Amino acid sequence: MSGLISNVVYNTQALNNHSAGLQVTGNNLANVNSTSYARQQLKNSTTPAEAAGGLTRYTIEQIRDAVLDENIVRENADLGSLEAQNDVLNQLNSLFAESLQENLSTSLEYSTDSDSTGLTAALDSFFAAWSDYSVDPSDSTAQEIVYQSGEMLVEYFNTMSSRLDEIETDVNTRISDDVDEANTLLNEIASLNEQIVRAELGGNDTATTLRNQRQEIVEELGKILNISTDEQANGTLIISSTDNTGATVTLLNHTTVNSLTNNAGVLGLADGTTLGLSSGSLYGYSAVLTGDIADARSDLDLLAANLTSSVNTAYGADFFDAAGLTAGTIALDSALTADSIYADLNNASGNEIALAISELASSEIAGLGNTFQGYTITTASAIAASYSNNQTQLEYQELVSTMLDEQRTSISGVNLNEEVTNMMVLQRAFQATSRVVNVLDQLLSVVVNELKA
């Protein structure tokens, strides 16, 4: 049986444990609204030798599910990819979208030309001008309108091409920014790796705050590119991704960072490896750049090239500059003026030429496999479908991420009621232990003061 002094020591230790427990609970309560915070728990442990005397030691544990954390990082990468694509597709869709708000009369008898916008409407206006001109090729006003509508159409193509250039530049800038951001995050994780290893050298305490910070940064990094993590026994985290052959490549080993590089859009690593990304915002931007944006540009250029060749063939001369075969370079022929159109067409064959050009509006163009307007609508519709699909996938992915977050919160999140209950238990325990110490104090007082005689 232990003596009074030993009992005082044991109970002091117990008071320390309860005090630590109250600190942990207080810490949990203070972080109830911190999203990256994983609740902590005091774990008492007793060695066999100490058990007889009731002496306990404690460790502070962080309640985390490593598998869930890994899942969240992986799903974040998919979310990052879809969000990046969504942002760009939104811009692309706005550029190509055709107005559905046209207020055409329900009866042809009372209809007039609408003030609709979009490339289809611009093409319609161009061919309508030719149709008007075919009625009277000697009409100088109609000839002026043909010229103006041609200019407007060319400007529409040029503006769309410029906007596509801007979107491309914007995406490339975002890729560069994300590469810089990823490198910054890798360096921060490297720094935290070192701090965690140092903090956990004793092995008793886990560096919970540092680990929370690191997990938060890892999840941010996971939104930029697909990564996998491997925690070592000493607490350090190895971060890897995949190269263009699908093999694993190390981005971070303890404190050694293999930085990301962006060589004219080709994403690689400082050691010369070319990355083969499958998710994350970098993948999303690259995919939309080489997919939807490239397709949109190709469609627009094909439309411009076919318009130039078809109209020039029907006109019998260069109405559009024969060299301008892309949306960015399409232009009216430099020698063309409103007067030159009049000079070209105010003759016996003028009506046939104007009619032939106006009929292009409803003719299937061999190079497009569709009418000009039909092809434009198909292109706009394909982009809208891509955007719509992306939105659906994004909503689903957000749902998955939310679900995983909720799962993690259910494990790692702080519950006020639970913490208050813990606090009450610890307070009662503290009070009870304090009473024991008081009794021991009284006993010691009797032993020391009253039995001395």
Identity of the residue, 234 or 421, whose beta carbon is nearer to another protein in the bound complex: 421
* Binds another protein by CB under 8 A, chosen from 373, 375, 433, 440: 373
Long-range contacts of 439-447, Cβ-Cβ distance < 8 Å, separation of 24 or more:
440/4, 440/7, 440/8, 440/11, 441/8, 443/4, 444/4, 444/5, 444/8, 447/4
Tell me the C-alpha distance between 273 and 284, whole Å.
20
Tell me the C-alpha distance between 172 and 286, whole Å.
8
* Binds another protein by CB under 8 A, chosen from 144, 177, 231, 359: 359
26: its two tokens: 């207080």
Considering only the stretches 153-161, 190-198, 343-351, 437-445, report the one whose residues sit in contact with another protein under the rule CB under 8 A.
343-351
Least separation in angstroms between CB 28 and another protein: 10
Identity of the residue, 403 or 443, whose beta carbon is nearer to another protein in the bound complex: 403
With binding defined as CB under 8 A, does residue 67 bind another protein? no
With binding defined as CB under 8 A, does residue 65 bind another protein? no
* Binds another protein by CB under 8 A, chosen from 12, 298, 349, 431: 349
* Binds another protein by CB under 8 A, chosen from 53, 54, 276, 374: 374
User: Using CB under 8 A, which residues numbered 133 to 152 contact another protein?
Assistant: 134-139
With binding defined as CB under 8 A, does residue 111 bind another protein? yes
Which amino acid, 280? G
145 Cβ neighbours under 8 A, 6+ residues apart: 129, 132, 133
Identity of the residue, 200 or 359, whose beta carbon is nearer to another protein in the bound complex: 359
User: Using CB under 8 A, which residues numbered 218 to 277 contact another protein?
Assistant: none
Tell me the C-alpha distance between 293 and 85, whole Å.
11
* Binds another protein by CB under 8 A, chosen from 45, 106, 245, 449: 106
Tell me the C-alpha distance between 318 and 153, whole Å.
16
Rounded to 10°, the helix 66-96/281-288 angle is: 30
Least separation in angstroms between CB 21 and another protein: 18
Residues paired with residue 58 on neighbouring β-strands, in sequence order:
44
Rounded to 10°, the helix 350-359/119-135 angle is: 160
* Binds another protein by CB under 8 A, chosen from 49, 109, 366, 451: 109
With binding defined as CB under 8 A, does residue 358 bind another protein? yes
Least separation in angstroms between CB 453 and another protein: 49
* Binds another protein by CB under 8 A, chosen from 49, 67, 108, 453: 108
Considering only the stretches 3-11, 168-176, 260-268, 403-411, report the one whose residues sit in contact with another protein under the rule CB under 8 A.
403-411
Strands 57-62 and 228-231: unpaired
Size of the site for another protein (CB under 8 A): 72
What backbone torsions phi and psi does residue 257 show, to the nearest 5 degrees? -100, 130
Considering only the stretches 182-190, 261-269, 287-295, 384-392, report the one whose residues sit in contact with another protein under the rule CB under 8 A.
384-392
* Binds another protein by CB under 8 A, chosen from 406, 431, 441, 443: 406
Per DSSP, the residues of 389-403 read HHHHHHHHHHHHHHH
With binding defined as CB under 8 A, does residue 378 bind another protein? yes
Long-range contacts of 160-163, Cβ-Cβ distance < 8 Å, separation of 24 or more:
160/95, 160/96, 160/119, 160/300, 160/327, 161/297, 161/300, 161/326, 161/327, 161/328, 162/328, 163/95
Least separation in angstroms between CB 129 and another protein: 10
* Binds another protein by CB under 8 A, chosen from 11, 76, 131, 143: 131
User: Using CB under 8 A, which residues numbered 71 to 100 contact another protein?
Assistant: 93, 97-98, 100
Tell me the C-alpha distance between 328 and 113, whole Å.
28
* Binds another protein by CB under 8 A, chosen from 187, 259, 262, 409: 409
With binding defined as CB under 8 A, does residue 431 bind another protein? no
With binding defined as CB under 8 A, does residue 33 bind another protein? yes
Identity of the residue, 255 or 340, whose beta carbon is nearer to another protein in the bound complex: 340
Tell me the C-alpha distance between 181 and 216, whole Å.
14
7: its two tokens: 């009992």
With binding defined as CB under 8 A, does residue 115 bind another protein? no
